């Protein structure tokens, strides 16, 4: 069933401006809370940005053959303009997220041309779940970019397939955004594949004369795609297929062998999808905890989305032609990829980010349908109660989740293992101690080495040669930046720094005793520093791979 109410042709720019101001306020409050911790993955991006300004040209996140360096290039621009700091990294991510909110609103409007649909989708992005807020504030290397590029792929894809098939510049931008997205993160497929299917479906239905013109435009889009993704292709050729092997087997080759997620059987991936991933998507849980947040209210929010999906599929469809199929295509493709691919081994929440916009649009259509039904039943002069209550329920639940996460330990953290979550409270003290004792090189874990390197302007260059897991298993891929390891190998003296792993301390102390070494020990918050070794530098230890 579709409504007879005419769509509003006037773009509601004032609504968009109000939503952007709300998104800006929410992000400023989150940053001002100081609750978003700074960890090694974010430090690697910041270090890449610094190295770019020094002349380096990284293609991917250090030490791996996926997740392109676009984010680091944008952070480098921020460093040039605002100086090198953690705050600058967060400002760049916040600016990107405002663009994500704006383009998400534009997509919702383009697919429906209804104020309520676009406004509800925009509000769901402006005040998002903890999961979306976390991974769009603390960067892991490109999630804001893939969301932004994905929204542009949806926008340009719908325009060229339905409204402006002869607009060659839109075809070119479609291909360019898809190409940049492919280099940045494979999640772009969740947007690009349904758009490609929609375009092919529309092309085959065109008259032969028009079809030939559009086919030439598709060639333009493909050329633009190759240009946008050129770093990916060049790197893959130079490394013997390391990049493509990531997507085909989730195990990289050559220099990057061993990097990837562990194999998890499809039934376990499906279970993780249901009990971990989807709850994080709607705000029912936070990525770093197994506990559910206000489960009674979260169950109501889940019910709202379930009803919204059912109504869109069977009852009420205010979207423009093929838009409903596009939305369900994105949702269905994501679920298929998650269960069928090895990336389903990680259901913590970050891979679910592309679903934020489709669910926002689905929510908007539920609100729109209830509003239209209420207005037709009784010509009220004010907003009907039920639609407003549902918006308040969902957005209020998002806001409550962020407030609780910001005010309760551990705050916002990208670490879902408590062992690897090391608060930043003692970073300054640790750096001061290491500087005072000339301990600029040594051995530590991944989660300590890179944040120390960035925060100390790379005075502290430590090898990530120590395990951070309680079972002391170690992946050599954690030593992502060889110059730090090489500097430690050449140093006459080296310190050892640990945190949160008592078994590692015991292993080190036993090894030092076996080598007949004398040393000093300093405790600084969660950190333990072993230094001043005599009569010689310790022999590096080896640890078993996971």
Which DSSP string do the residues of 254-265 spell out, in sequence order?
GGGTT-SPPP--
Question: pLDDT at position 253, please?
Answer: 46
> What gap in Å lies between CA 530 and CA 524, rounded to an integer?
11
Asked whether residue 27 is domain-assigned, the answer is: no
Question: pLDDT at position 316, please?
Answer: 81
Asked whether residue 333 is domain-assigned, the answer is: no
Which range marks the domain in which residue 467 is found? Answer: 424-534
- b/e map of 282-293 (b: 16 or more CB within 10 Å)? bbbbbbbbeeeb
3-class DSSP assignment, residue 496: strand
- The total of structural domains in the chain comes to 1
Query: And the tokens for 513?
Result: 């005793």
Asked whether residue 523 is domain-assigned, the answer is: yes
Nearest CA-CA partner of 418 in 275, 291, 262, 522? 291
Quote the radius of gyration of the chain (alpha carbons, Å). Answer: 25
Asked whether residue 463 is domain-assigned, the answer is: yes
Residues β-bridged to residue 36: 412
Nearest CA-CA partner of 49 in 79, 88, 86? 79
Question: pLDDT at position 4, please?
Answer: 41
Asked whether residue 459 is domain-assigned, the answer is: yes
Asked whether residue 268 is domain-assigned, the answer is: no
Nearest CA-CA partner of 195 in 304, 111, 82? 111
3-class DSSP assignment, residue 276: helix
- Show pLDDT as tens, one digit a residue, over the chain (546 residues): 344 444 457 899 999 999 999 999 999 999 999 999 999 999 999 999 999 999 999 999 999 998 999 999 999 999 999 999 999 999 999 999 999 999 999 999 999 999 999 999 999 999 999 999 999 999 999 999 999 999 999 999 999 999 898 899 999 999 999 999 999 999 999 999 999 999 999 888 877 766 777 788 999 999 999 999 999 999 999 988 888 887 776 554 445 554 555 677 888 888 888 888 899 999 999 999 989 999 999 999 999 999 999 999 988 888 899 999 999 999 999 999 888 877 777 777 899 999 999 999 999 999 998 887 655 555 545 557 888 899 999 999 999 999 999 999 999 999 988 899 999 999 999 999 999 999 999 999 999 999 999 999 999 999 999 999 999 999 888 999 999 999 999 999 999 999 999 999 999 999 999 999 999 999 999 999 999 999 999 988 888 887
Asked whether residue 431 is domain-assigned, the answer is: yes
Asked whether residue 481 is domain-assigned, the answer is: yes
Q: What is the pTM of this model?
A: 0.93
> What gap in Å lies between CA 65 and CA 59, rounded to an integer?
8
């Amino acid at each position: 069933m579709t409504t007879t109410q005419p769509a509003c042709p006037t773009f509601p720019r004032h609504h968009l401006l109000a939503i952007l101001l709300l998104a800006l306020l929410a992000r400023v409050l989150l940053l001002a809370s100081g609750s978003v911790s700074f960890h090694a993955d974010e430090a690697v991006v910041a270090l890449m940005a610094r190295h770019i300004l020094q002349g380096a040209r990284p293609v991917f996140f250090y030490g791996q053959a996926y997740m392109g360096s676009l984010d680091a290039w944008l952070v480098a621009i921020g460093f040039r303009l605002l100086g090198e700091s953690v705050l600058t990294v967060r400002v760049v991510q916040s600016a990107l997220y405002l663009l994500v909110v704006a383009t998400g609103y534009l997509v919702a409007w383009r697919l429906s041309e209804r104020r309520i649909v676009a406004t509800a989708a925009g509000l769901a992005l402006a005040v998002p779940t903890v999961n979306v807020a976390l991974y769009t504030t603390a960067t892991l290397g490109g999630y804001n970019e893939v969301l932004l590029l994905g929204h542009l792929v949806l926008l340009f894809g719908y325009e060229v397939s339905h409204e402006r098939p002869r607009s060659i510049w839109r075809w070119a931008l479609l291909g360019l955004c898809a190409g940049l997205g492919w280099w940045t993160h494979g999640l772009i497929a969740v947007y690009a594949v349904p758009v490609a299917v929609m375009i092919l479906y529309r092309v085959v239905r065109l008259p032969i004369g028009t079809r030939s013109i559009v086919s030439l435009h598709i060639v333009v889009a493909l050329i633009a795609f190759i240009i946008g993704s050129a770093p990916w292709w060049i790197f893959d050729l130079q490394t013997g297929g390391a990049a493509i092997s990531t997507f085909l087997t989730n195990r990289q080759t050559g220099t990057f062998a061993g990097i990837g997620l562990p194999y998890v059987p499809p039934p376990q991936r499906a279970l993780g999808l249901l009990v971990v991933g989807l709850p994080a998507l709607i705000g029912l849980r936070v990525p770093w905890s197994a506990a559910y947040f206000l489960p009674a209210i979260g169950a109501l929010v889940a019910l709202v989305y379930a009803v919204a999906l059912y109504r869109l599929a069977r009852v009420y469809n205010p979207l423009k032609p093929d838009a409903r199929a596009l939305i369900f295509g994105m949702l269905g493709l994501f679920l298929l990829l998650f269960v069928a691919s090895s990336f389903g081994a990680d259901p913590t929440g970050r891979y679910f980010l592309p679903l934020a916009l489709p669910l926002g649009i689905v929510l908007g259509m539920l609100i729109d349908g209830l509003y239209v039904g209420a207005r037709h039943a009784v010509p009220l002069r004010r907003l009907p109660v039920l639609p407003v209550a549902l918006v308040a329920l969902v957005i209020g639940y998002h806001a409550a989740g962020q407030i609780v996460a910001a005010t309760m330990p551990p705050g916002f953290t990208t670490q879902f293992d408590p062992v690897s979550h090391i608060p930043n409270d003692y970073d300054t003290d640790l750096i001061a101690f290491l500087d005072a004792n000339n301990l600029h090189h040594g051995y530590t874990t991944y989660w300590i080495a890179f944040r120390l390197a960035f925060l100390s302007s790379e005075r502290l260059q430590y090898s990530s040669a120590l395990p951070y897991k309680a079972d002391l298993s170690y992946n050599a891929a954690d030593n992502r930046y060889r110059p730090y390891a090489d500097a430690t190998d050449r140093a006459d003296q080296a310190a050892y720094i640990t945190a949160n792993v008592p078994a590692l301390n015991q292993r080190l102390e036993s090894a030092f005793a076996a080598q007949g070494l004398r040393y000093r020990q300093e405790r600084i918050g969660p950190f333990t520093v072993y230094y001043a070794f005599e009569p010689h530098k310790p022999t590096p230890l080896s640890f078993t791979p996971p």
